[in-house]
Homo-oligomer: A and B are copies of this chain.
Amino acid sequence: MGRGTGALISISLECHFDAAHKLDLPYESPCNRPHGHRYIVRIIASAQRLEHGMVVDFNVLKGVVERFDHRDLNALPEFADMPSTAENIAIVLARELQLAAGARVSIDEVSVHESPQTAARWTKPA
């Protein structure tokens, strides 16, 4: 039998990726020019039952985020049909992290800092 923890154990991970991107806003904006950021990503996950003593291996979550490292976000299939804003990056990462972590694990929160001053946060629906 697994070690039931009553969802009392959560983990947090901070990682980053360096990527190029640009927006296509219908108005004049520096964001419409190709540029880039160091994106800082913070993830909170939890589980009712640990596996190998873990909610989920930190390296599994990190691997999902690092697929975006040293890439042009606009050239990735994920952003073929939607703008590569911090908001959409958080939504995309939440979905891909949930897929990678599996049904036992709950991805509860994903924050994406585009700069030290600007961030978007996805929170799991209650």
A residues apposed to B, CB below 8 Å: 3, 5-6, 8-15, 18-23, 25-26, 29-31, 33-38, 50, 52-55, 57-59, 69-72, 75, 82-88, 90-91, 115-125
Contacts and interface: CB of A to CB of B under 8 A. Distances in A.
Q: Is the interface of A mostly helix, strand, loop or mixed?
A: mixed
A35 B69 contact: yes
10 contacts: A11-B118, A14-B116, A20-B20, A20-B21, A29-B59, A33-B71, A38-B116, A50-B87, A53-B88, A54-B87
A125 to B, nearest CB: 5
A71 B75 CA distance: 17
A11 B87 contact: yes
